[in-house]
Amino acid sequence: MGDNYDGSFDITTLGDGGGDESSEMARDIKSGLLSEPKDISPWPKYLYDDEGSRLFEEITGLPEYYQTRTEFSILEERAAEIIKRSGCREIVELGSGSSTKTRALLEAMLEASGGDGARYSPLDVSEGILKESGEKLDEEYADLDVHGYVGDFDGSLGQVFDDRDGRDDDEAGSRLVLFLGGTIGNFTPEKRGEFLREIRSGLASGDHVLVGLDLVKDKNTLEAAYDDSAGVTAKFNKNVLKVLNDKLGADFDPSLFEHRATYNEEMERIEMWLDSHVSQTINVSGLDVRFEAGEGMRTEMSHKFTEKSVRRTFEGAGLELTELYTDERSLFGLALAGL
C-alpha cells in the first residue's frame, strides 16, 4: 500500500502492486469461458477499466437509465435525515466513480459537523476517475478532508476500514459506508453475502452502511435501461472484450459480437450477454474457446429487489435494516443498516 498521487489531496494505492492481478484475471475468465453457458458475470470488476468507467458515467445520464437520477432524487430529499440517523463524521464510498450523487450527503455531513473533522474516503478501481473527482471536491469543499483509495473490493476493503485516521474509540461510531448505484445487484447471492459480511466486519458500534438497490418492476422498463436507444450500453458491454484483449492477450473482434439484455423474471435479474454473429475460435491466454454462431457469453447480472428480499439480504449478513428509502414510484431504494 503506498501513495502515488502528488496533488492537494491524498490518494493511496491498495495492494502490493505485484503481477498477480493478471494471473487472477486469467483464472477467472478461463473458468467463466469453460462454464455452460459461458459466463464471466461473477467478476463485474473487469468491465470497469478507465474506458468502461467513462462509458458507465455516460450511461447514468441516459433517459432510459432511471437508476441514477432516481437515486439522486432520494439522496437530495433524504440526505439530512440519513446523516442525522447515522451520526457520521466520515463517509467511506465503495466504487465512488465521479462522486456526483455523494455531494448531497457530503454537504449534509459538513452542515451537521460544522466542517469539524468531516472526512470523505472514496474507493475506486479507476485512478483517473478518482483523481478527477478528488480535485473537484478539494476545490468545492474547503472543510472536507478527502483521502482516496485505488483498489477493488477483493482484498482492499479491510485496508480502507482499518484507516480510521487516528480517531479515538469513542469516535468510532461516526462512519457511514456507501455502496450506491445498485451495484450490489451485480454480485451473485453468495458473493453478495460475503461482501456485506466483510463490510459488517469493518463496522464499529454506531457505524452504518447505505446501499443502493434497484427494485423489481415491469420488464419493459428494466430491459430499456440496459439496452438504450443510443447504444451506449452496447459499447460498455463490448468494451470488456477490449479489456480481455489488452490484459490477457485475447483476440476478440468486438464487431463479431452483439449486445443483448434480457430480464429473467424467475430469478428477478437483468442479464447482459454478448452473442457471437459467427462460428469462431477465440484464444484467451493460451486457451482456445469455441463460439458457435448465435452463442452467447453472459457478461453481467443485475439482481432486483423487493423490501422482503432487502431485509433478508441484510439479516443474512448480520446487519439490521434501519430504513428503506424509496421514490414515489418505488423504482429504486436506499437501504440504511447498522449492527
Residue 128 has a pLDDT of 84
Query: With helix as H, strand as E and coil as C, how does 151-205 read?
Result: CCCCCCHHHHHHCCCCCCHHHCCCEEEEECCCHHHHCCHHHHHHHHHHHHHCCCC
β-partners of residue 287 are 284
pLDDT of residue 168 exceeding 70: no
The answer, yes or no, to whether residue 240 has pLDDT greater than 50, is yes
Percent of the chain with pLDDT over 70: 93
> In angstroms, rounded to a whole number, what is the distance separating the alpha carbons of residues 174 and 333?
23
Conformational region of residue 34, where left means phi above 0, alpha means psi within -120 to 50, and beta covers everything else: alpha
Indicate the pairing of strand 175-179 with strand 269-276: unpaired
Residues 54-78: tens digit of each pLDDT: 999 899 999 999 999 999 999 999 9
Q: Tell me: the pLDDT tens digits for 46-58?
A: 998 889 989 998 9
Q: How confident is the model at residue 285 (pLDDT cuts 50, 70, 90)?
A: very high
Where exactly does CATH 3.40.50.150 map onto the chain?
A: 2-10+66-163+171-217+306-338
Question: Could you report the per-residue pLDDT of 96-137, keeping only the tens digit for each?
Answer: 988 888 999 999 999 998 878 899 999 988 888 899 999 999
Measured CA to CA, the distance from residue 294 to residue 170 in angstroms comes to 59
Dump the DSSP string for 50-100: HHHHHHHHHHTTSTT-HHHHHHHHHHHHHHHHHHHHHT-SEEEEES-TT-T
Contact 44, 180 (CB under 8 A): no
Band of residue 165 on the pLDDT scale cut at 50, 70, 90: low
Statement: residue 8 has pLDDT above 80: no
d(CA 94, CA 202): 13
**pLDDT tens-place string over residues 9-54:** 789 988 754 457 789 999 999 999 999 999 999 999 899 888 998 9
Residues 2-10+66-163+171-217+306-338, CATH architecture: 3-Layer(aba) Sandwich (3.40)
pLDDT average, residue stretch 284-290: 96
Q: Taking the model in full, what pTM does it have?
A: 0.87
